[in-house]
């Protein structure tokens, strides 16, 4: 199993935060395709500009993960989340076993 990072672009100048989605979402899965499928069930979406949901000048809110995005531990830009600068936004980690962990600035919130 690997972890895949979805970093939200604030398309239109607004971030979407719900009970399931925050600025940074990390999904543990066997493949990038499995992670993308799980991300869709959580409320992430891809091709937002094409669908008219996102601002075309700002770009898509979410991008699909690929094998380039995988890591062995929950990470943000290649650094483990507990060591990374996650700035002032919240992170939700979805583990393959169903556990969910919420992190803010590297500490559980």
Domain that holds residue 20: 2-108
> Model's pTM, two decimal places?
0.85
**What is the spatial distance between Cα 54 and Cα 90, in angstroms, rounded to a whole number?**
21
**What is the spatial distance between Cα 33 and Cα 107, in angstroms, rounded to a whole number?**
29
Q: Would you call 34 helix, strand, or coil by DSSP?
A: helix
Task: Summarize pLDDT for 63-103 with one digit per residue, the tens.
Answer: 899 888 899 999 888 877 776 665 556 788 999 999 998 87
Per the structure, the count of domains in the chain is 1
Is residue 102 within 8 Å of 90, Cβ to Cβ? yes
């Amino acid at each position: 199993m690997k972890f895949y990072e979805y970093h939200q672009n604030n398309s239109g100048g607004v971030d979407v935060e719900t009970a399931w989605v925050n600025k940074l979402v990390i999904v543990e899965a066997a493949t990038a395709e499995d992670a993308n499928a799980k991300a869709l069930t959580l409320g992430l979406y891809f091709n937002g500009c094409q669908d008219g949901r996102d601002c075309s000048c700002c770009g898509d809110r979410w991008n699909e993960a690929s094998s380039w995005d995988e890591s062995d531990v929950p990470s943000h830009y290649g650094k483990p989340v507990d060591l990374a600068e996650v700035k002032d936004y919240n992170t939700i980690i979805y583990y393959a076993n169903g556990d969910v962990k919420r992190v803010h600035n590297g500490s559980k919130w």
